[in-house]
Chain A
Amino acid sequence: MFPELNDLLNTAPDKVEQGKLTLLCDAQTDGSFLLHHFLSFYLRANCKVCFVALTQSFSHYSVVAQKLGVCLTTARERGQLVVLEGLKSSVDVFFRAQEEPHPLQFLRKASAGDLQPLYEFVQEALKPVDGGEAAWRCPVLLVDDLSVLLSLGVGAVAVLDLIHYCRATVCCKLKGNLVVLVHDSGDSEDVENNTLLNGLGHQSHLILRAEGLATGFCRDVHGQLMILRRTPPQPTAQRERRLTYQYKIQDKSVSFFARGMSPAVL
């Protein structure tokens, strides 16, 4: 996790907000560093994490998490982390008997339909263990990323329904958190992606949007991060609704600074 990002969001592994949906989106840049941050953050915070990894292999996430000080393999063995490796298990779908349920079952159907099997996988992975005290703080679902589902033929409304049900179960019933990543293609004609992005935006409590700089690639400033809080303002909290920072991604950390205040130019 990136300590500077924790400061900006006013969170820490020991004071985790519960029942929130965080939307990560990126436009003209790669926003996956935000997802790696949240993955290592919630593992450090001792939460039970279900990670639906549709874009990269488990070893990729493992290597990045190692740089951030978290071992995914150990977490998986302990039962703290449940991973659905999309790339690997999508092949399994075709070698199983058709009656057996599989989270990515929609790949076998001509018209994708709904994502209920995937929801049932998440529900099963995060259900509280009966008997004894809870070993983990709160359940967290991370999805990387939802745009992949659109390109696999699932409709935007079906993906929104999946996240609706996950929110109802994980955020409201189990008081956990949801973090999802969606790519913004910037194409106004991509109606499905825009519907998904805006629909999720309306359901989110916090939106983190990573954008490339309008002027193009820069060695010292990799992009801009916009933080938008959508919960109604509380009278006691002095947080502002909308903040924008620029950032530079280094090997093991990300540094954030106010716009135009990059250390390289000061």
Chain B
Amino acid sequence: MLEALAARGGLVLLRDSVQWEGRSLLKAFIKKAALRGDQVHILGCEVSEEEFREGFEPDVNSRLVYHDLFKDPLNWSKTGEALPGGPLGALRVLCERTQPGPVTIALDSLSWLLLHFPCTTLYQILHALSHQNACPDGSTPVERVHVLGLLHEELHGPGPVGALSSLAQAEVTLSGMLDQTSAHIVHRRLRQCPAQQTQWFSILPDFDLNLQWVPALESQPCPPPTQVDPTAHLTFNLHLSKKEKEAKDSLTLPFQFSSEKQQALLRPGPGQSTSQIFYEPDAYDDLDQEDPDDDLDI
């Protein structure tokens, strides 16, 4: 499944960490794409072009177009060598490509872009990049665009990473044990549950993927389509019989002021007794009939 990932359209997110670096896997995917005949564009923000091309064979290197954002991304040198529009400008140019043929775009790295630009702008560009399906002149549909994004997951909070995951068609999280690297792959398919697989692998010096033993493919269990009845299998009775239901519906609540109640209060019926207050004055009670509030001048 790891090898098939590079062939799928849309965004593939490679999540690595300080201990398990992901650039080698990115380069392995790039090599596969180049040998498949794709045009490969690399937006390089973190390593120099020389370091990135190291290890690739000449025929692979000749198919790679490296957009160098490493030397002077923030235009500090002011020599005019920096790419016009900066990194986002370079990304937008890739969105508007006009050449036919399948394209693979590698972003090294998405973390660098996330740290320097607002999340929302980046997501909009990534969405546009990975969902290109219209040709500028409207004649034939353009071949699918494969976008590979390298993300250093410790640098970002769960919000941005989650948002990027939702944009991605597949996610590969790198981890491992001792000196063996593993990739946990989550592949989202249309109208199906996401498929997950853990694949142990190693990268050979010429960036070929060497897959090691593969455990069985597991699908995440989908929620059951029927509703579970919560009142079934209880030790007490939650149901009401018909007579109980009728009695319940006809009950008037004590504080509900209906018209019958209003009439009953206004016209005390013959059967009703009037209430009386009986007062027994205490010995020390002062039965002064004068109103103590008389002298208030309100």
Contacts and interface: CB of A to CB of B under 8 A. Distances in A.
Interface of A: 114, 116, 119, 157, 160-161, 164-165, 168, 172, 194-195, 198-199, 201-203, 207, 228, 230, 232, 234-235, 240-242
B271 interface: no
A202 B205 contact: no
A234 B54 CA distance: 12
A199 B155 contact: yes
B46 A241 contact: no
13 contacts: A114-B74, A157-B115, A157-B116, A160-B115, A161-B74, A165-B76, A172-B51, A195-B155, A198-B155, A202-B155, A232-B203, A241-B179, A242-B19
Contacts, number: 58
B19 A228 contact: yes
Please classify how large the interface on chain B is, using the bins under 10, 10 to 19, 20 to 34, 35 or more: 20 to 34
B46 A203 contact: yes
Interface string B21-32: 101100000000
B48 interface: yes
B76 A116 contact: yes
Contacts of B21: 202, 230, 232
A234 B115 CA distance: 31
B179 A168 contact: no
Interface of B: 18-19, 21, 23-24, 46, 48, 50-51, 55, 70-74, 76, 111, 115-116, 152, 154-155, 179, 203, 205
Nearest to A241: B179
Q: Which 4 A-B pairs have the closest CB atoms?
A: A201-B18, A198-B154, A172-B48, A202-B152
Instruction: Identify which of A119, A157, A164 gathers the most chain B CB atoms within 10 Å of its CB.
Output: A164
Given A194-B154, A232-B203, A119 B76 contact: yes
Contacts of A240: 179
B74 A172 contact: no
A102 B111 CA distance: 31
B51 A198 contact: no
B71 A168 contact: yes
A198 B76 contact: no
Contacts of A194: 154
